[in-house]
Chain A
Amino acid sequence: MTKYTDQGKQDTRSGFGAGMTELGRTNPNVVALCADLVGSLKIETFIEENPERFFQVGIAEANMMGIAAGLTIGGKIPFASSFANFATGRVYDQIRQSIAYSDKNVKICASHAGLTLGEDGATHQILEDIGLMKMLPGMTVINPCDFNQTKAATLAIAEHHGPVYLRFGRPKVANFTPVDQKFEIGKALMLNEGTDVTIIATGHLVWEALLAAESLENQGISAEVINIHTIKPLDEKAILDSAKKTGCVVTAEEHNYLGGLGESVARTLASHHPTPQEFVATQDTFGESGTPEQLMEKYGLNNKAIEKAVLRVLKRK
């Protein structure tokens, strides 16, 4: 199978920070807002180099979303950042009315998504944010898989006119996609061609999907691996082409199985090409404290869980 090399573990939030640094230098309309989490969002360099284009709003996320909406009036491109829980569920109506319904060009940038922020526990581990955001008409939802891809996505969304939800995380994970890749919103990436099963993964689960595919290859199972970094709009053609070829699908995401990538894929398949599908996702539950690795093991979100799901779905072909 296609070989991918970990260039050294890094956190996706630092990819966001690197993207912001570059945008600060190249796009004078980009402004940043943060709700008392500058260090966690890795935007110190942007702030240092562009102090007049940074707005510290304090612990007041609702106000941040409104100010971001207002800044677009006058041509600014606001990147409003916080933890995923506080950037979505806490301020859903502000996003809905002042940003999405008002067609505002705001980029909602959310770190610490999913279980992998670890020890802080369930108050901070949102597993519902993809669902919340994808249900908003006009909202683009992006969940890149590693440092390089998060940086590329950060640059790409500045060029896209319209509200965007960019989701990333805290743990250091494999960095395996190309440096300076071009990021095409809504375009799935074929990471490994296979014939027996399609694994469709997003975010931190993409690397786990590649590990699973490698193990499966050793068992004589040929797994196709697709990286869906954009959950909305979804690259339906890539999904359907692959499902028609392999005849079964496993989706993998660090999110509740309700409302996540898996459901979007299931809707696509059910509408156009009904196909057996297994879901690697949390099972309608809150998280808890623990190390990221322990949590991913306990909640069934790692390469072993993907492998098991593949073996299950193959029996349903």
Chain B
Amino acid sequence: MPNTEELQDLVVQVRRDILRMVHKVNSGHPGGSLGCTEFFVALYNEIMDLKEGFDMDGKGEDLFFLSNGHISPVFYSVLARRGYFPIEELGTFRLINSRLQGHPTTHEGLPGVRVASGSLGQGMSVAIGAALAKKLNGDDHLVFSLHGDGELQEGQNWEAIMYAAGNKVDNLIATVDRNGQQIDGATENVLPLGDVGEKFRAFGWDVMHIENGNDLDQVIAGLKEAKSRTGKGKPVCIVMTTEMGNGVDFMMHTHAWHGKAPNDEQLANALAQNPETLGDY
């Protein structure tokens, strides 16, 4: 296991990757990606039990499903830097003939991705299916998933939330990125979500909170706590509060950078706030 300082260096480097990826193609979703950087770095480098290499079935290892596929930049960067594919390939993000599609897909054979996501609200159902397959296979590894908070407005989530509790899918840890923002503004203005944790609890989940999802230590501690709560008859939900655009001052406290790329000047400013640590791709 890397130490926290090494992981913090990785967090900064991943932020640089995200910013450079979306800048190059003048498109993509930096806001949510930057907000979930600590989560991805912790999950893939400290929390999940992963095998070397990649096979679709993922037997004998923990699995992760990204439901809010638009934050593909952080997913791709962390996968590449975990060794799933060459980091140079990050430079092909959103380009023609790339395996790094705008939203993640299995279709181009990118290692590390097990289902397409982008059309929102579908990932929890898929994660439940994978968790059920693990139970059938006698595989005691876990399934993790990440969901945007705005994404919970899609009704399929609540079918899945009801199913997972009703059927004791207790090898599943679903994290909600509670950044409070969506494309058209604050979630509470667009369509109020209310108390997300209470809603999951009312459906029968074991619910916990990570108060600051941009504090690496808190994220690691929270995810470890969540792991300890699995296998007890309830699926586990983490409501993780994050700041969209975290790490870049002008991208924070607004939904403006949900799906917008920085220009040259803005990129230089943003990168200056996140000095190179492990080497750019």
Query: Which residues of A pack against B, CB within 8 Å?
Result: 31, 52-53, 55, 57-58, 60, 62-76, 78, 93-94, 96-98, 101-104
Q: Which 4 pairs, one residue from A and one from B, show the smallest C-beta to C-beta distance?
A: A70-B129, A66-B125, A74-B133, A63-B159
How far is it, in angstroms, between the C-alpha of A58 and the C-alpha of B165 when the chains are bound? 13
The minimal Cβ–Cβ distance linking A204 to chain B, given in whole angstroms, is 32
Q: Does B58 contact A (CB under 8 A)?
A: yes
Query: Which residues of B pack against A, CB within 8 Å?
Result: 56-59, 63, 65, 105-107, 114-119, 122-134, 136-137, 139, 155-156, 159-160, 162-163, 167
Among residues of B, the one whose C-beta sits closest to the C-beta of A138 is: B107
Contact A75 B130 (CB under 8 A): no
The minimal Cβ–Cβ distance linking A108 to chain B, given in whole angstroms, is 14
How far is it, in angstroms, between the C-alpha of A13 and the C-alpha of B107 when the chains are bound? 33
How far is it, in angstroms, between the C-alpha of A52 and the C-alpha of B114 when the chains are bound? 24
Among residues of B, the one whose C-beta sits closest to the C-beta of A75 is: B57
Contact A70 B119 (CB under 8 A): no
Cβ–Cβ < 8 Å partners of B163 in chain A: 57-58, 60, 63, 67
Contact B159 A62 (CB under 8 A): yes
The minimal Cβ–Cβ distance linking B205 to chain A, given in whole angstroms, is 15
Contact B106 A102 (CB under 8 A): yes
- Known contacts A67-B125, A68-B129, A98-B126; decide if A75 and B137 are in contact (CB<8 Å): yes
Cβ–Cβ < 8 Å partners of B115 in chain A: 69-70, 73, 98, 102, 104
Contact of A55 among B65, B132, B137, B139 (CB under 8 A): B132
Cβ–Cβ < 8 Å partners of B167 in chain A: 55
Contact of B107 among A63, A67, A102 (CB under 8 A): A102
Cβ–Cβ < 8 Å partners of A65 in chain B: 125
Q: A60-B162, A69-B126, A70-B126 are in contact. List 12 more A-B contacts (CB 8 A).
A: A63-B159, A68-B129, A69-B129, A70-B125, A72-B133, A75-B59, A93-B119, A97-B117, A98-B115, A98-B116, A98-B122, A102-B116
